[in-house]
Amino acid sequence: MPNQTYINNRWNLSGLRKRPQAVAWADTFSISDAGLLVPGGVEEGEDFLILSDHNRSEINFTKQRLENRQRMISGSMRSYHIADKTGVSWSWDMLPSRAYSGDPAYSETGTVTTNGLTPYTVDNGAGGVDIVKWYDNHPGSFYMFLAYDRFDNFTTSEYSRFGQYNEVIEVLFAGFDYSVVKRGGETHDFWNISVTLEEV
């Protein structure tokens, strides 16, 4: 099962602070004794997928408030709040269709153990085919991990959690589109992909 060391070592932009990629998807997740959110499972690409920040657009959030709102005879408004649900969307432009020149194998610490592979995404995150495969294999819900500054999600050491996943949402695909923008020579193609997800 991946841990924080695994997540940190998958980030491959030298000279930058060790933060995970902005989004990961997983079938399951766990919370460590230190309160860290980590994807569950064993095999990356099957049990969980670390998405690339390579040419990724901004992540857009929409909030939907589920409520029964009714105006009373006195003219005031009364609302019976049920829940708030989140929608999330983003896209990639010119994302390589492959993350590597071959099939990567990862050590328990998240480093690539297959020798001689050339990475195509700047941070070793998933390529286009990996994302389409995840979509095809997940008609039901799965968990989305987000790494952005939401320190209010922690109850202890809030300001020291910047380099960790800080939010997990169970989601379903609400929209998925991709296009092959440029066919590469002998290495990889470039794709545009857009995804929309809804909280369960």
Give the confidence band of 125 by pLDDT, cuts at 50, 70, 90. Answer: very high
Q: How far is CA 65 from the centre of its chain?
A: 23
Out of 20-24, 100-104, 116-120, 154-158, which region has the weakest mean confidence (pLDDT)? 154-158
- pLDDT tens digits, residue range 93-111? 999 999 999 999 999 888 8
Overall domain count for the chain = 1
Cα distances from 188 to residues 13, 101, 162, in angstroms, run 21, 8, 34
Cα distance between residue 151 and residue 162, in whole Å? 7
Give the C-alpha separation, 180 to 122, whole Å.
19
Percent of the chain with pLDDT over 70: 96
- For residue 11, pLDDT beyond 70: yes
Kindly report the pTM of this predicted structure. 0.89
Q: Give Cβ neighbours of residue 168 (< 8 Å, ≥ 6 apart).
A: 29, 37, 143, 144, 145, 146
Rounded to the nearest integer, the mean pLDDT of the chain is 91
Tracing tokens 């997990």 back to the chain, one arrives at 168
Q: In the chain, where does DSSP find H-type helix?
A: 4-10, 128-137
Structural domain harbouring 186? 4-199
